[in-house]
Amino acid sequence: MVFSSLEFLFFFLPIFLVIYYISPGKIKNAVLLIFSLIFYSWGEPVYILLLIAASIVGYACGRLTEKFAQNLFLKRLILIIGVGFGVMLLAVFKYTDLIISTIDSVFSLDIAAPKLRLPIGISFFTFQIMGYTADVYMGRIKAEKSFVDFFTFICMFPQLIAGPIVRYQDVSEALHHREHSLKGFSGGVFRFTNGLIKKVLIADRLGILWTAIKGSDYSSLSASSAWLGIICFTLQLYFDFSGYADMAIGMGRMMGFRYVENFDHPLYSRSITEFWRKWHISLSSWFRDYVYIPLGGNRKGVLRHIINILIVWALTGLWHGASWNFMVWGLYYGVILILEKYVWGKGLEKLPSVVRYLYSAFIIVLGFAIFDITDMGLIPGYFKALFFMTGAAPISNDFIFYVMNYKVVIIAALVFAAPTYTFLSERVRRINSLYIRQGLLFSGGLIRVAAFIIAVSYMVSSAYSPFLYFRF
């Protein structure tokens, strides 16, 4: 996939920012829109028509909903059309092959799957459009009157490809009136740099290790290597996805937008309930507001609450990919959340924090084994390796080799997955000596610059991989 390259973004961004800042305020949205379409077209020249069509439908549904605000039947019909169109796009382009292959396997048919290429970012922009349509219907927001501004909201290139899922009400004011300042720009550069370092220097290094272990023979895989591999994938996914979120949020700030935070150190959680309040926050809140609450939430009895949770988490799993392992992964979390709510949640709160952290980490890591091994037939074999059932020595030479070669990046990942930076920043601010404080800040800045240069050198040499959430 051509779009996997970071070079285009890296060289595209300065050109865009120069033109954006010298453009008059009245046409900044148009400039942003044009560059966003160029950005998307560079990776998906065909599917840009799909993006335009989805945006036209979303815009029209918003305007028509307000026009027929007093006609409940028409309002509902428009909502059904708007949401149905988004669901149809996902069903056709994302799930057709899964549906056909499942029918083939159940009924022993021989239907050729079309193998449609997945439009980049379809899971994100369809959810933004459906959420907007629902919000206008519910009266939470006013429909956007300018198609250019609406299309800009959908197509803003920083978050178009892999989120966060931005809601109209969060950026509506900035769409029409936003401030540009040196402080905002420098803060955006700082955040963008964070994301690039997380992606290139941590996520991609861990990905190499996980690829090696994932591709091995599970029947002879040691438990130590199996656990090391899936822990590294968990860290890889976090730094890859949160790295992109940092880059998107940083680019947004450079332009005067404030996107929602998508992560809050989720791997250091004391329950799975807390984990899902901190991981992919924009997706969790989307399903809560547009699926879980409309289904009745927890307001219609225990049985209905359990059913609602399972529905939401089955959909959450399928959102991540057109493979049954994602459905299993979603239901896995649904069951755990039900158990925390109704069985052991109160007991869990009484345990020491360290036990609760270990409990959450164990469940999260196991879950990501289901998440990334898309062949359902291979998952049991990997779980056997995890739980010492392959007959291999618990600690293998491969494990020692991996640890010795990747120890620096593994330690860095474990440290920075925690709120380490926040903790250190707060301690530096509390130092009374201005000279010591400035010296520490200067040293930290030098380390950041060095890390950024190393990351860019990896990027230029193509020693990196595509963002993992591009495939969702």
Beta carbons of 360 and 271 less than 8 angstroms apart:
yes
C-alpha 399 chain-centroid distance: 30
Contacts of 185 (CB under 8 A, 6+ apart): 253, 254
Residue 320 among the catalytic residues = yes
**DSSP conformation class of 198:** I
Can you count the helices (H) and strands (E) in the chain? 22, 0
**DSSP conformation class of 288:** I
Beta carbons of 171 and 260 less than 8 angstroms apart:
no
CA neighbor of 241 nearest in space, from 470, 12, 5: 470
Q: Compute the CA torsion angle 431, 434, 437, 441 (nearest 10 deg).
A: 150
**DSSP conformation class of 112:** P
Active-site option among 176, 177, 280, 320: 320
CA 472/CA 470 separation, integer angstroms:
6
CA neighbor of 468 nearest in space, from 234, 147, 129, 165: 234
Beta carbons of 365 and 223 less than 8 angstroms apart:
no
Beta carbons of 169 and 252 less than 8 angstroms apart:
no
The residue type of 123 is S
CA 149-155-159 angle, to 5 degrees, is 120
Contacts of 205 (CB under 8 A, 6+ apart): 406, 409
Q: For the chain, what percentages of helix, strand and coil (3-state, to nearest 5) are there?
A: 75, 0, 25
Residues with a known catalytic role:
320
